Amino acid sequence: MDNRAAGNRGAGATLPIVPAIVTDSLTRTFGLVTALSQLTVEMPTGVVGLVGANGAGKSTLIKILLGLLPPTSGRAQILGMDCRTDGLQIRQLVGYMPESDCLPPDVSATEFVVHLARMSGLPSAVARERTADTLRHVGLYEERYRPIGGYSTGMKQRVKLAQALVHDPKLVLLDEPTNGLDPAGRDEMLGLIQRIGSEFSISVVVTSHLLGELERIADHIVVIEGGVLQRSTSTADATQLSGVVLVEVTDQAAEIIARLRAAGAQVADAGGSQSFTVELSDETVLDAVQRAVADLGVGLIRMQRRRHHLTEFFQPEQEAADAQQ
């Protein structure tokens, strides 16, 4: 039907320098409650994970980004459009999947998504065609003709995702899409979100209160707590810059620890008899480990990067790189 996809979107995807979302001292208060406080952050295109506990300000940020809630002060931009003034244009090119239940039980998924596609401004024929396509992509087949009331939680989440994608947005805001799903459903949903970012070339901002699940799929992680930015890093940066290295040797671990401490490194016992962790303040620490091991002539079993703040997360390439060192 159209073949702009590979050309335009592909080119867009290779220019991650242009941030999808920019906020500048964004503040929003509700009476005495401060939902967002001086939030200044840039989110790139691709899959961005927005992490925070319940009440951290994630949903408030999403409503501001959709142009539905004016910020108390500060500025927010999405896809280069101002959230304070360009609400209508933003909502034409952005999809939103709410956290809460939002599906009427007495209509079928097809009818409901067709209706919402028209509500996004698509002509009727296009709305029907894209609804069939989109429901297939999120994994709803024959059941899409049955009333939504009889769907499982997993199927309902898929319908909610489909309505956010049906109008082919440039960016989707997914609010807690894995809420209420069992572990298998969670994995499927996360896989689907990853595909939206890679195969569909649609930028994604996905929120969760679980850091672990977003680390697996996000290119970039933003953590907010109590409306305040805690950190904003690409997941690749996180593995490079922060964390500690787990070192395991064949013999004389105590001697190596002593030498490293003498060189000023922060070393902690890792529990095993011949292993320890060393804080990776800079690259010279790695050299120091290497030198100590070489001098003593013991075998180095492994050096593995661990990270401080992000929970267990090992990218295969990163692990391979570590193993080579």
Q: Tell the smallest beta-carbon distance from residue 238 to other proteins (Å).
A: 22
In the set 29, 92, 179, 242, which binds other proteins (CB under 8 A)? 92
Q: Tell the smallest beta-carbon distance from residue 141 to other proteins (Å).
A: 13
In the set 73, 80, 123, 273, which binds other proteins (CB under 8 A)? 123
Q: Tell the smallest beta-carbon distance from residue 127 to other proteins (Å).
A: 9
HEC letters along the chain: CCCHHHHHHHHHHCCCCCEEEEEEEEEEEECCEEEEEEEEEEEECCEEEEECCCCCCHHHHHHHHCCCCCCCEEEEEECCEECCCCHHHHHHHEEEECCCCCCCCCCEHHHHHHHHHHHCCCCHHHHHHHHHHHHHHCCCCHHHHCEHHHCCHHHHHHHHHHHHHCCCCCEEEECCCCCCCCHHHHHHHHHHHHHHHHCCCCEEEEEECCHHHHHHHCCEEEEEECCEEEEEEEHHHHHHHCCEEEEEECCCHHHHHHHHHHCCCCEEECCCCCEEEEECCCCHHHHHHHHHHHHHCCCEEEEEEECCCCCCCCCHHHHHHHHHC
Interface positions, 259-318, toward other proteins (CB under 8 A): none
150 near other proteins (CB under 8 A): no
Interface positions, 188-227, toward other proteins (CB under 8 A): 198-201
In the set 126, 228, 246, 286, which binds other proteins (CB under 8 A)? 126
Q: Tell the smallest beta-carbon distance from residue 190 to other proteins (Å).
A: 17
In the set 15, 31, 106, 324, which binds other proteins (CB under 8 A)? 106
In the set 41, 50, 79, 116, which binds other proteins (CB under 8 A)? 116
d(CA 185, CA 200): 21
Q: Between 30 and 254, whose beta carbon lies closer to other proteins? A: 30
Q: Tell the smallest beta-carbon distance from residue 85 to other proteins (Å).
A: 13
In the set 37, 45, 77, 120, which binds other proteins (CB under 8 A)? 120
Question: Euclidean distance between the first and final Cα of the chain, in Å?
Answer: 49
Binding flags for other proteins, 31-70, as an x/- string (CB under 8 A): ----x-----------------------xx--x--x-xx-
In the set 58, 156, 158, 167, which binds other proteins (CB under 8 A)? 167
List contacts with other proteins (CB under 8 A): 1-6, 8-10, 13-14, 30, 35, 59-60, 63, 66, 68-69, 88-89, 91-92, 94-96, 98, 100-107, 111, 115-116, 118-124, 126, 130, 133, 137, 147, 163, 167-168, 198-201
